Amino acid sequence: MGEKRIRVGVVGASGYGGMDLIRLLSLHPHVELTYVAGNHEESADIPEVYPFLPAAAGLRLEKYDPERCRERCEMVFVALPSGASGAVAAELWRAGLRVVDLSGDLRLPPDVYERWYQKPAADPGAIEAAVYGLTEWARAELRDARLVANPGCYPTGALLALLPAVRAGLAKRGHPVVIDAKSGVSGAGRHAAVDRLYGELQENFYPYKVGRHQHVPEIAGQLDVPAEGGLLFTAQLLPAVRGIYSTCYVWLRDGVSEADVRGVYAEAYADEPFIALAPPGRVPELKHVRGSNRCHIGLFVDQAAGVLQVFSVIDNLVKGAAGQAVQNFNVMYGFGETEGLTVQPLYP
């Protein structure tokens, strides 16, 4: 592709995911960031409102204007809240732009979306056209995609952990897949709420949306199991800013050993630049991936119980949102998949 630079916009830059998009895209060698719109009616120079993004100097945060966006951009990332994001993504897609939507609006069939999100569904044609962009498992579809539904943060961590085992047929029929997932508070968005105040969350820990979390049908659909009866998912809130730790349980078919499991995962992720499998006896930690587009996975088979435990960690704002969106962009345009995503994890 030579030195070609794509004129790119970000709509929804007032949220944490949008901010991380600016951080990553402003340093991408094949991107010219030409348009940045906020979630509301903001109007200010980026360094003025986000002094931690010096590479975005010269850009201005402005109110979303579809005509201005179309004039300035070839491709747009939309990172608005669910219920608003899908409509904007569909509008820009129908106007001829390539679009990656980071909300849940284009990931589910309309009837399923309305049941679990309790909001009107987006444009059915856009939903049908959107490619589900779990990059490692969707490259063939992404190369020609004009509209991409970026996976949710919890689904990304859980699906990367589970798909090798499930698609290889290692799971025992008749047993639900169990996912115990814990997220940093940034996954809840950038708005005020009592339960996310420092005094409420610090030294605290609790589950939320038990039995009704909107990511349940998304995960179940990709695993090809029923959302009710085939999957038990619990989301929990950590007193941390970033990261998702998913501990997943899969009942194995009789005779499946840990060596069998490790062979399946090693083959599935052998050439993946962002996925690392922990050696036997080691498990991943949140700080091993913080700030990066990486996913670390650990495996353990309890032979007595016949259960596989899979541990995965991601940064919810990077691999679970902005980073995966940029990774999808790279595949869509034929760039090297790691372009703009070589940032190393922050430790400690």
DSSP letters, 121-177, are ---HHHHHH-EE--GGGTHHHHTT-SEEEPPPHHHHHHHHHHHHHHHTT-BPTTS-E
Compute the distance between CA of residue 50 and CA of residue 28 in angstroms, rounded to an integer: 18
Q: Residue ranges of the domains in the chain?
A: 6-129, 154-315
Give the pLDDT of residue 1. 43
Give the H/E segment covering residue 315: none
2 pLDDT above the threshold of 70: no
Compute the distance between CA of residue 242 and CA of residue 286 in angstroms, rounded to an integer: 8
DSSP letters, 238-249, are -SSSS-EEEEEE
Q: Tokens 């490259």 appear where? A: 139
Name which residue leads in pLDDT, 190 or 216: 216
Instruction: Encode pLDDT of 86-119 as tens digits.
Output: 999 999 999 999 999 999 999 999 999 999 999 9
- Give me the amino acid identity at 92: L
Compute the distance between CA of residue 223 and CA of residue 81 in angstroms, rounded to an integer: 25
CATH code for 6-129?
Answer: 3.40.50.720
∠ at Cα 347 (268, 207), nearest 5°?
Answer: 70
Compute the distance between CA of residue 125 and CA of residue 123 in angstroms, rounded to an integer: 5
Compute the distance between CA of residue 161 and CA of residue 300 in angstroms, rounded to an integer: 12
Give the H/E segment covering residue 231: strand 231-237
For 45, 49, 96, the CA distances from 14, given in Å and listed in that order, are: 13, 10, 25
Give the H/E segment covering residue 263: helix 258-268
Q: Catalytic residue among 69, 153, 248, 295, which? A: 153
- In the predicted model, what is the mean pLDDT of the chain? 95
Window from 44-58, 110-124, 241-255, 329-343 with minimum mean pLDDT: 44-58
143 pLDDT above the threshold of 70: yes
206-208 and 231-237: which strand pairing?
Answer: antiparallel
153 part of the active site: yes
Closest CA to 251 of 180, 185, 143, 172: 172
Compute the distance between CA of residue 18 and CA of residue 264 in angstroms, rounded to an integer: 35
Instruction: Encode pLDDT of 300-342 as tens digits.
Output: 999 999 999 999 999 999 999 999 999 999 999 999 999 999 9
For 30, 299, 300, 303, the CA distances from 265, given in Å and listed in that order, are: 32, 9, 12, 18
CB hemisphere CA count around 248 (13 angstroms) = 30
CB hemisphere CA count around 293 (13 angstroms) = 25
Q: Domain 154-315 adopts which CATH fold?
A: Dihydrodipicolinate Reductase; domain 2 (3.30.360)
| Residues 64-90, mean pLDDT to the nearest whole number | 97
Give the pLDDT of residue 42. 76
210 pLDDT above the threshold of 70: yes
Q: Tokens 């106007």 appear where? A: 95
Would you state the structure tokens that stand for residue 336, as one six-digit string?
Answer: 């090297």
Sheet holding 295-302, edge to edge: 206-208, 231-237, 177-183, 244-251, 307-314, 295-302, 275-277
Could you tell me how many residues make up the chain? 348
| Residues 164-187, mean pLDDT to the nearest whole number | 95
Would you state the structure tokens that stand for residue 15, as one six-digit string?
Answer: 């949220």
Instruction: Encode pLDDT of 186-199 as tens digits.
Output: 887 776 777 777 77
For 6, 29, 35, the CA distances from 330, given in Å and listed in that order, are: 11, 11, 19
Percent of the chain, pLDDT > 70? Answer: 99
